[in-house]
Amino acid sequence: MKVPAIKFRVADKYFAIEMKNIKQFFEVEEILKLEGFPDFVLGITKYNKNVYPVISLKKAWGLGGEDPSTAVAIVFKDKEYAVLIDEIIKIDELEKKEAFSLEVFEENGELIGNLNLDFLNDVNIPVFFNKNEEKKEVNKDYKNFLLFKCNNEILGIDVSLLKKVEEYNNKDVFILNKLAIPLVDFKKIYKECNKSSIVFLEDEKVLGMVVDEIMDTVIIDESEIVKGEGIFDRFFVYDNKEVKVFNNEYLKSKIEKYGVVFFDKKVEVGYLNKREILVVEICSQKFAIEMKDVLEITDYKKTLLHISNDNPYIKGIITTREGAVILVSLEEILKKKLDDSQAKIVVVKSNPKRAFLIEQIDDLLYVEEDKIIFSNSDSYIGGMVLSQEMIPLLNVNFPKDV
């Protein structure tokens, strides 16, 4: 059975994965390093509003060499990871089959391994509930594109920007609803190609651009679309050929630059709820705690009851206004000694009640809800706050077994 797939390279190994399991490609610009995880978990990165643990296959499999900066965001067993790869070889339909009790792909008689991340099941890696995957609306799982040629390439435009398509009449101006719209040569948008049709795009203005032959309008399942970045930010297979879809924001910038005002629009602005976030420092590293989870903040008096416990994260029992609570320290995970000369404790809502030992209060932020990404991990990372910087959100139920 042939399926749309991506073939890629890591070191000297080649793999493939179905496009339905790929969210997007991107260049990793920043990695927030976290302690307490295997060396192949390089840390956490964000792209747009999504947060991913970064996985090095070279370190996981001992392949050697420097880690690349190109990442493919993969959905594996309902969890999302950013896997670093050296090179994308192709996007194409590949034959998927079983060989030696394994799922593989076949291309021209050559077997290509289906990327398997089962080794991640044995590691408690924080994975995040990215907002765009939490709620899927009816009729939102498909995207509609206009396809046209440009020399040997097939290009696509999201129809949400499309106003009208007309045949090119060798004139520099087109009269649309009694308004003269200057036509823009396609080389100002991308590159020079044959002139056959006019595509009118609309945002706050209207742009008429002269393009090559219009091929089709297609409805594509989002699971078959691979995301990237740059001028073209989406890719899919049509008639066994790659289609490159223009980035909507890129086209909007061209509409703004070359377009003409057609009619006024009223833009509705929505207001997002904000959450109160306490930013604290633990071992000189910033962490966030939702204020709704905070019961009490008080000075650390160093008077605690030590208990017989093998858990390295529990310092003992301490008495607060909330009663006796378990005192949790992250020193063992962060591999640093906490400066307790002016330390405080933050008592949080949990069962049983816990208090986290911190060095100081750093800030109080009001953060839009869509900039807080939660994790389903049992680790000390309960999510990520995407403020002006990435701040790990503490899991107030850590450690799990107390």
| pLDDT tens digits, 340-380 | 888 999 999 998 899 999 999 888 888 888 899 998 888 99
| Of the listed ranges 129-133, 298-302, 307-311, the one predicted with least confidence | 129-133
Cα gap 370→287, rounded to integer Å: 18
Average pLDDT value for the chain:
85
Name 156's Cβ contacts closer than 8 Å, sequence gap at least 6: 145, 146, 147, 234, 236, 243, 244, 245, 246
Q: Among the CATH numbers 2.30.30.40, 3.40.630.30, 1.10.510.10, 1.10.1060.10, which is that of 142-258?
A: 2.30.30.40
What's the DSSP call for residue 247? P
Q: Which residue has the higher pLDDT, 112 or 267?
A: 112
17 with 28: CB under 8 angstroms? no
**Structure confidence at residue 133 as a pLDDT band (50, 70, 90):** very low
Three-state secondary-structure class, residue 137: coil
> What are the φ and ψ backbone dihedral angles of 119, each rounded to 5 degrees?
-65, -20
pLDDT value at position 135?
A: 38
CA 143, chain centre distance (Å): 19
The token duo for 380 is 């000390």
| Of the listed ranges 116-125, 171-180, 375-384, the one predicted with least confidence | 171-180
The CATH topology of domain 274-394 is: OB fold (Dihydrolipoamide Acetyltransferase, E2P) (2.40.50)
Nearest to 390 by CA among 17, 3, 15, 54: 54
pLDDT value at position 163?
A: 81
298 with 343: CB under 8 angstroms? no
What's the DSSP call for residue 260? B
324 with 317: CB under 8 angstroms? yes
Nearest to 212 by CA among 248, 180, 187: 187
Choose from 9-18, 91-100, 201-210, 359-368 the range with maximum mean pLDDT.
9-18
- Which secondary-structure segment (H or E) carries 344? strand 344-348
Q: CA-CA distances (angstroms) from residue 347 to 139, 225, 336, 344, 375?
A: 45, 45, 22, 10, 21
- Please say if the pLDDT value at position 267 is more than 70: no
116 with 260: CB under 8 angstroms? no
At 5, which amino acid appears?
A: A
Name 215's Cβ contacts closer than 8 Å, sequence gap at least 6: 147, 148, 149, 154
What residues does each domain of the chain span? 2-134, 142-258, 274-394
Cα gap 186→286, rounded to integer Å: 49
pLDDT value at position 3?
A: 84
CATH number of the domain located at residue range(s) 2-134 in this protein: 2.40.50.180
pLDDT value at position 139?
A: 42
CA 126, chain centre distance (Å): 14
Shared fold status for 142-258 and 274-394 = no
Would strands 142-150 and 214-221 be described as parallel, antiparallel, or unpaired? antiparallel
